[in-house]
Amino acid sequence: VYGGVKATPGEHPWQVSLQVKPVGSQQDFQHTCGGVLIKPCWVLTAAHCISKHNSMRVVLGAMNLVKDEPTDQTVEVEKAIIHENYKETSEAVYNDIGLLKLKAVDGHCANETKFVKTACLPDGEPFPDGSACIISGWGATEKSDYGSDHLQDATVLLISQERCKSEKVYGSVLDDSMFCAGYLKGGVDSCQGDSGGPLMCQRDKVHYVYGLVSWGDSCAKENKPGVYTRITKFTDWINSHAV
């Protein structure tokens, strides 16, 4: 996250770190993406984060990824589901959504605590353009291309499809599986390593996963806001697969 601040413990209890271990390697698991806990055994993430060949795990309740914290819950991924219309081109990433089913131990995947909670899927009501929403992640920052040990967050504003499809922004490669959020002047944005993580919007004290960090032309640049998977387009898909 560019232009963000350190998150506070328990502020983003649905945020997960998706970690991958290269096959046959003796290396430890490495953070690759974010994700969002939506049910005790289900995590939503970007399809482009899902590895076909490597074993994956999820860490819940974490703040500092390089420290073992008492709030951490580490859970194996039992299976991954990639959206059937997921497509990546040189221009854009379409339908960038997937689900991870966590492996239960003694009948439990995530244990709900102050630091681990599920996020709500959006109801029918869209959030208006200009709404202030929150992104979070361990991705690259203005201080480090390698990302941040400590979870960061920032407020971003929802940008209308019309503005984001203008030629000076992303043009017609943007489709309705995506939306833009951030600031056209730049400075505050999601970045590499934040992918798959949440963009949360709040209404009446309820936090909804409204977007997933998906792509963008670099990070925090003028006229190149972050592009997010539009969760309202996928609620039926999520509800039919995460069962």
219 part of the interface to ligand 4AZ, by CB under 6 A: yes
Please confirm, yes or no, whether 241 is among the known catalytic residues. no
| 104 CB-contact burial (10 Å; exposed 0-12 / middle 13-18 / buried 19+) | middle
Among 63, 226, 229, 231, binds ligand 4AZ (CB under 6 A): 226
189 part of the interface to ligand 4AZ, by CB under 6 A: yes
- Three-state DSSP class for 237? helix
CA dihedral 192, 57, 71, 194 (to 10 degrees): 10
Please say which residue, 1 or 75, places its beta carbon nearer to ligand 4AZ: 1
Please say which residue, 73 or 195, places its beta carbon nearer to ligand 4AZ: 195
What b/e readout covers 117-137, taking b as 16+ CB neighbours within 10 angstroms?
A: bbbebbeeeebebeeebbbbb
**Residue range at the interface with ligand 4AZ (CB under 6 A); choices 60-68, 120-128, 210-218, 230-238:** 210-218
216 part of the interface to ligand 4AZ, by CB under 6 A: yes
Catalytic position from the list 96, 153, 189, 194: 96
Round to whole Å and give the CA distance between 233 and 211.
10
Round to whole Å and give the CA distance between 113 and 47.
27
- Can you give the C-alpha Rg of the chain in angstroms? 17
Please say which residue, 43 or 156, places its beta carbon nearer to ligand 4AZ: 156
Please confirm, yes or no, whether 96 is among the known catalytic residues. yes
Round to whole Å and give the CA distance between 60 and 41.
12
**Residue range at the interface with ligand 4AZ (CB under 6 A); choices 72-80, 128-136, 147-155, 209-217:** 209-217
191 part of the interface to ligand 4AZ, by CB under 6 A: yes
Catalytic position from the list 17, 195, 207, 214: 195
Contact between 222 and 241 under an 8 Å Cβ cutoff? The reply is: no
Residues in the chain: 243
Rounded least distance, CB 51 to ligand 4AZ, Å = 14
- Name the token pair of 225: 């806001």
Please confirm, yes or no, whether 195 is among the known catalytic residues. yes
Rounded least distance, CB 196 to ligand 4AZ, Å = 9
195 part of the interface to ligand 4AZ, by CB under 6 A: yes
Round to whole Å and give the CA distance between 185 and 206.
29
Q: Please report, as ranges, the residues that interact with ligand 4AZ according to CB under 6 A.
A: 189-192, 194-195, 213, 215-216, 219, 226
Residues designated catalytic: 48, 96, 195
